[in-house]
Structure 1
């Protein structure tokens, strides 16, 4: 499995306030032989990441494609929002590149290394439209076919589990957001207190008391910075992971839906096979098939049988793929939450140590 190390850095605002957007620099280092170089960088905007996600999802039925962060028309240039989006985009592209199937996808290659990206995706969109107008059209038409009845209880159990997990994640996200807001409000109040104490220390209250109050103001300013930093860390560690997996659940559901589309395509091909066979038998019974056309009619049946067999095989393959993808989802979920909790606790402990040292230093000064 080739290794990818990808970072999304240096967000820069481009354009006017109305139609402006943020451009990111995507740095890639890889051992994959697909690429001309082992290290390269390109400029990409949010809509480019979105194109990659939508294209990979459409072209890889059964695969759980790591999703990009949601659109947000309001406050999209706020510093905190840009930081969170940059972090989410980086995690998204890293997971896509290091996925055993998606890491080999030609569209990922275009995204990561093309210097003529706008032109390349224009051509790519035309190719995909042509494909979907042909082979893929049968899948799209099949969606409107007979209702799908699940025959594998595993999928029904997983749907119930995903609904429950999504509800739990929403509750956790709400709680984390409340804690982060409370820390932010406490930081603001601490800052006001620090300012008031600092102003008092500057007044004519005596050198000794002035020095003591000035030291208190310094410690409170440090406490304000620590609380503000912790509020941001709440959102970029645990909240970032919660948000990512809430979005990933939708990607899992899309993988489930792609399986149903493949099923309908399979049933459509079986219906086509029955129709071709019936037409052949009817024409043969009525003597409408000339001797020189018999081989052609039989070849039509053989082709329909081949399509039906391939469609059935595709459905079985996608069903197995979805199961393996959900197992990957579970494994990565446990690992990612452990990592985010570890980062959260490490940061929390380090900042509390800094604050304790500041208070101890102030106590010794007194």
Structure 2
């Protein structure tokens, strides 16, 4: 059974995001999801927003960053696609800064709703509020190495940020870097994934719009996560004016220290053999495999339906144009007016089919695709548990080696030092604690994943059905009006025929 929830429009004012990480789905409170893209919004009183927003002394004025410092770095743009972040030239940064300075924040459909119920923490405090929008996709770069740059607007009441509102320019690979970094920084946490990379058609207007909506929903969910919202790399991503330069240094340091995300996955595969001792994780893996297959099938089916609706819309438009041309030919006035009215109705039908095709993608398809990708993040969280297990096994091996060295030294009559053994035992205990903590966190995150999945699909289905019902009512009204028009003309023609007949039979 789908759970109920209440939402409000960001265009009015957002309310504090929920912070929760319950142990099980039975213990968790039924609260709204962190970010819903499609729903019939409710409205929140403006005094309530100001009381939550201005409690920490924040203002609602949106400011834009200065890009002069980053432009002065002169980082070479040597990337040929979206795989890695690149620097931005002084010319591009100055042009983007002027554009950002003259822009007003536009709330896109994917950020139109936020949760309404202000959730307080156990200590009585209100969690920080984030309202993030991804706007103004612009194609930049030379013809060979072009990419899309987005403007990320942020408003927050978090005390971790020096400003309450700011804007930055980011490209797709920057979002990808953030996802990989957060996954490494927070083992056991399910990080909302970015949309998948596409090599072909990535500059198509519809594809850019879909990616923009997906990136906006992704970053909003990350900011609303109680753990990820406190990560320093998220703060760096949202407010750094010299991101293109700084991120290259961060990537170099991360690769030197940890080898990056792929290296961590390789360690998981080549480390000590992992034997699962908790049946819950085996059941979840099997469940996720089946769910992923079903979601991918649903995405494929909705995509086929949306394309068929678009083709039907194009065919209906062509039919309407033909009927409209026919209405201008040399026919009787009644027939010409009837054909013109029919052409108008067919235009309404074509527009409804085209709108429904787009809504199929925005509501159901995007939600199903998001959660099919999110399952990959769940598996990454499971793999992080395997990595902590490998660390635990390595620490136990160090303890065994320290004990062997101690026994060998004692047998040889030397006075062994216990410092190495105590240090190894402490590391082993810390590794075991980290493994247990990661296991508990994953269970909490999966429960959170399940609740948000139900709530997101409920909202998407509700928006899908509400839109379809509204468009069907519009079509019914159009056809009824056309029917009434024809009946009135038939009735008028009949009355005129009777009058002519009576005049013809009247004796002179």
What is the TM-score of this pair, normalised by structure 1? 0.93
Paired position in structure 2 for 1:252: 378
Match for 2:171 among 32, 45, 56? 45
- Tell me the SS of whatever aligns to 1:12: strand
CA contact (8 A) 2:265 2:383 kept: no
Paired position in structure 2 for 1:353: 473
- Tell me the SS of whatever aligns to 2:283: helix
**Structural mapping, 1:75-224, within 5 Å:** 75-132=201-258, 143-224=269-350
Moved over 6 A (4+): 137-140
Paired position in structure 1 for 2:402: 276
What is the TM-score of this pair, normalised by structure 2? 0.68
- Tell me the SS of whatever aligns to 1:86: helix
- Tell me the SS of whatever aligns to 1:25: strand
Question: Counterparts of 1:139 and 1:42 in 2: how far apart (Å)?
Answer: 31
Paired position in structure 2 for 1:301: 421
* 1:325 partnered with 2:451: no
Question: Counterparts of 2:314 and 2:133 in 1: how far apart (Å)?
Answer: 33
Paired position in structure 1 for 2:138: 12
Question: Counterparts of 1:355 and 1:44 in 2: how far apart (Å)?
Answer: 42
Q: Which moved more, 1:216-225 or 1:336-345?
A: 216-225
CA contact (8 A) 2:359 2:464 kept: yes
Question: Counterparts of 1:138 and 1:22 in 2: how far apart (Å)?
Answer: 30
* 1:286 partnered with 2:412: yes
Question: Counterparts of 1:143 and 1:229 in 2: how far apart (Å)?
Answer: 47
Q: Which moved more, 1:20-29 or 1:9-18?
A: 9-18
Name the CA shift for 1:16/1:351 in 2 (closer, same or farther; >3 Å). Answer: farther
Question: Counterparts of 2:388 and 2:272 in 1: how far apart (Å)?
Answer: 13
* 1:33 partnered with 2:153: no
Deviation at 1:139, TM superposition (A): 9.7
Name the CA shift for 1:18/1:261 in 2 (closer, same or farther; >3 Å). Answer: same
CA contact (8 A) 2:130 2:155 kept: yes
Name the CA shift for 1:17/1:216 in 2 (closer, same or farther; >3 Å). Answer: farther
Question: Counterparts of 2:466 and 2:142 in 1: how far apart (Å)?
Answer: 40
Deviation at 1:341, TM superposition (A): 0.7
CA contact (8 A) 1:139 1:264 kept: no
Question: Counterparts of 2:268 and 2:354 in 1: how far apart (Å)?
Answer: 53
CA contact (8 A) 2:268 2:386 kept: no
Question: Counterparts of 1:81 and 1:326 in 2: how far apart (Å)?
Answer: 30
Name the CA shift for 1:142/1:80 in 2 (closer, same or farther; >3 Å). Answer: closer
- Tell me the SS of whatever aligns to 2:169: strand
Unaligned runs of 5+ in 2: 1-126, 487-508
Question: Counterparts of 1:95 and 1:240 in 2: how far apart (Å)?
Answer: 15
Q: Which moved more, 1:139-148 or 1:167-176?
A: 139-148
Question: Counterparts of 2:360 and 2:377 in 1: how far apart (Å)?
Answer: 25
Paired position in structure 2 for 1:342: 462
Question: Counterparts of 1:202 and 1:139 in 2: how far apart (Å)?
Answer: 69
- Tell me the SS of whatever aligns to 2:270: coil
Paired position in structure 2 for 1:65: 191
Q: Which moved more, 1:348-357 or 1:95-104?
A: 348-357
Q: Deviations over 1:118-172 (max 9, x none)?
A: 1221232233234327xxx999757523321100000001011111111111221
Q: Deviations over 1:203-242 (max 9, x none)?
A: 2223222222112111211211111111011011000000
Unaligned runs of 5+ in 1: none
Name the CA shift for 1:138/1:173 in 2 (closer, same or farther; >3 Å). Answer: closer
How many corresponding residue pairs? 359
CA contact (8 A) 1:8 1:89 kept: yes
Name the CA shift for 1:286/1:142 in 2 (closer, same or farther; >3 Å). Answer: farther
- Tell me the SS of whatever aligns to 1:237: helix
Deviation at 1:100, TM superposition (A): 0.6
Name the CA shift for 1:224/1:142 in 2 (closer, same or farther; >3 Å). Answer: closer
- Tell me the SS of whatever aligns to 2:275: coil
